[in-house]
Amino acid sequence: MRSSFLALAVAAVLALSACSGDDDDSSGSADERPTTSTAAPVEAEVALTRGEAVVAGAGGDIALDEPTRQAAVDAAQQYVDAAMIAPLTDGAVPEEYAALFDTGVQASAIAADRAVLTDEGIPAPTETPTITATPVRIDGLAAADGTLTFLATTFSVTVDAETASGPVAVRRNVELTYAPSGSTWLVTAYRVTVERDIADAGTSTTTAAAG
């Protein structure tokens, strides 16, 4: 009977896992519009929302508490604001960007993988861009006593912008894995894929992974 129950339990978990895919938004194509004059500072923002949360535990799966869910989304929001929004509004990523990563991956995040992880260098928007994001899926890995060892956020962000040189479309699929560092969570591994369609530079897809 116990084995039957366990079989049912396994089936239930597998079924739940099978239903836990991400909601991917298809990237929107920018309208063809006349270019405007010189770029001026624009406003841009996107508010990430919480998606499904699943914690795999060494002692069995556990539920993720509310504050930790919010902490995970906040950490993802910090990345989006620094890596994607700031380049649109200020033309560069802020200094705080580097502090989002732990020492294991910081060097690659700020140098070798910077062009994939951030939108620094893309043409400046001439009007408020359209930015959409999928709900943030949260995954966790817990030790046998329930202590969270890692958190991860998975989401996609799409940007459609008008620039002086024509429309720009960016779609970024983001997986960020965080390890606890004091009272905060720092990115300890990442896997990011960015598709860019820039008017006079063509289409490109690049991926960066570390950790």
Using the contact rule CB under 8 A, the part of the chain among 2-10, 43-51, 89-97, 116-124 near other proteins is: 2-10
Query: What token pair was written down for 81?
Result: 């604001």
Shortest distance (Å) from residue 152 CB to other proteins: 3
Binding other proteins by CB under 8 A: which of 41, 59, 91, 121?
A: 59
Residue nearer to other proteins on the CB measure, 30 or 186: 186
Using the contact rule CB under 8 A, the part of the chain among 65-73, 75-83, 99-107, 199-207 near other proteins is: 99-107
Distance CA 143, CA 141 (A): 7
Shortest distance (Å) from residue 166 CB to other proteins: 34
Amino acid at 98: A
Query: What token pair was written down for 154?
Result: 């998975």
Binding other proteins by CB under 8 A: which of 42, 110, 164, 179?
A: 179
Q: How far is CA 106 from CA 33, 55, 174, in A?
A: 39, 26, 16
Cβ neighbours of residue 44 closer than 8 Å, sequence gap 6 or more: 85, 88, 89, 125, 128, 129, 131
Applying CB under 8 A, does 209 fall inside the site for other proteins?
Answer: yes
Distance CA 19, CA 16 (A): 5
Shortest distance (Å) from residue 63 CB to other proteins: 5
Binding other proteins by CB under 8 A: which of 68, 89, 108, 132?
A: 108
Distance CA 104, CA 124 (A): 32
- Widest CA span of the chain, in angstroms? 74
Applying CB under 8 A, does 170 fall inside the site for other proteins?
Answer: no
Q: Which residues inside 130-159 make contact with other proteins, applying CB under 8 A?
A: 137, 139-144, 149-150, 152, 154
- For residues 83 and 101, the answer to whether their CB atoms sit within 8 Å is no
Collapsing DSSP to helix, strand or coil, 138 comes out as strand
- For residues 83 and 98, the answer to whether their CB atoms sit within 8 Å is no
Query: What token pair was written down for 63?
Result: 């539920």
Amino acid at 16: L
Binding other proteins by CB under 8 A: which of 5, 34, 38, 95?
A: 5
**Spacing of C-alpha 5 from chain mean position:** 38
Total binding residues toward other proteins, as defined by CB under 8 A: 44
Residue nearer to other proteins on the CB measure, 11 or 92: 11
Applying CB under 8 A, does 57 fall inside the site for other proteins?
Answer: yes
Binding other proteins by CB under 8 A: which of 15, 20, 96, 121?
A: 20
Name the residues that contact other proteins, by CB under 8 A: 1, 5-6, 9-10, 12-13, 17, 20, 54-63, 102-105, 108, 137, 139-144, 149-150, 152, 154, 175, 177, 179, 188-189, 191, 209-211
